[in-house]
Amino acid sequence: MTQDQISAIRWFHSIDLGNGVITPGIFDTAAQLPRFHIPEDLTGKTVLDIGAWDGFYSFEAERRGAKRVLATDSFSWSGQGWGSKQGFELARKILHSKVEDLNIDVMDLSPEKVGMFDVVLFLGVLYHLKHPMLALEKVFSVTKELLILDTHVDLLGSKRPAIAFYPGSEVNRDETNWSGPNPAAVLAMLKTAGFNRAKIVSPPSYVHTFPWRLVHALRQRFAEHELFWESLQQGRIAVHAWR
């Protein structure tokens, strides 16, 4: 492993490669990990990581004992965004990982193409899709037991299931962000897709109350230059859904 190899890659995930070396990802994956409540012990489980990118969560599932992990991606690995597959491939090599990989879009997932998995990770992908409901149906078809979903949410002031649509770069100045469902919509969509039960596991109950949203919106306004009133209605949730 050379520092030149690591430095040559534009990393999204921060991955501990051992010997004190951590990839310079712009996303602090280790800090976010507790939000998802991924089972500590995955011994004997099969895991599918949809939208794996640099593979942090794939490698973490393997570290927790999963007997098989399949990392999938399409948009990032094909270079359509600003990322690539180089980070995943280098990290897998350095970690001596047995994580498998498949370049496939979420809309092409099916039991016939990838099989079914005990645990499916669908982290940070839903709001980037033009057809989120169809995507959840595809995800349901390959989930044997548990889906762990993380997504951006909007319209937090509404208790009715609703989705905000972003035709441009309204969120984080990123044109790949297409929609922001509110928490009620996320739960309703999961049940409509076929899951028997769905539960928000993060954030804690005090988050998304008005005082928290106010602080969040002020931070977004001054740190990220986001529009205040829009940020006031936005947040992020992690959900577990059981087949």
The confidence score (pLDDT) of residue 156 equals 86
Q: What's the pLDDT score for residue 220?
A: 55
Q: What angle do CA 109, 26, 202 make, to 5 degrees?
A: 60
Residue 167's pLDDT is what?
Answer: 87
pLDDT at position 91 is 97
Residue pLDDT, tens place only, 186-242: 999 999 999 999 999 997 544 555 665 566 556 655 555 555 566 677 888 999 999
Question: 46 and 68 in contact (C-beta within 8 Å)?
Answer: yes
- Where b means 16+ CB within 10 Å and e means fewer, 90-116 reads bbbebbebebebbebbbeebeeeebee
Q: What is the dihedral of CA 87, 89, 91, 93, to 10 degrees?
A: -160
Minimal CA–CA distance to 155: which of 117, 127, 190, 120? 127
Structure tokens at 24: 């310079």
**Residue type at position 82:** W
Residue ranges for the chain with pLDDT beneath 50: 205-206
Question: Cβ atoms within 10 A of the Cβ of 160, count?
Answer: 9
Based on C-alpha coordinates, what's the Rg of the chain? 18
Distance in angstroms (rounded) separating the CA atoms of residues 14 and 163: 31
State the sign of the Cα–Cα–Cα–Cα dihedral 110, 112, 118, 121: negative
pLDDT of residue 83: 79
pLDDT at position 206 is: 44
Question: In sequence order, what are the beta bridge partners of 27?
Answer: 13
Task: Place domain 43-204+235-242 in its CATH homologous superfamily.
Answer: Vaccinia Virus protein VP39 (3.40.50.150)
Q: What's the one-letter identity of residue 70?
A: L
Is residue 119 a contact partner of residue 146, using CB atoms and an 8 Å limit?
Answer: yes
Global confidence as pTM: 0.89
What pLDDT is attached to residue 126? 97
Give me the pLDDT at residue 221, please.
55
- pLDDT computed for residue 79 by the predictor: 76
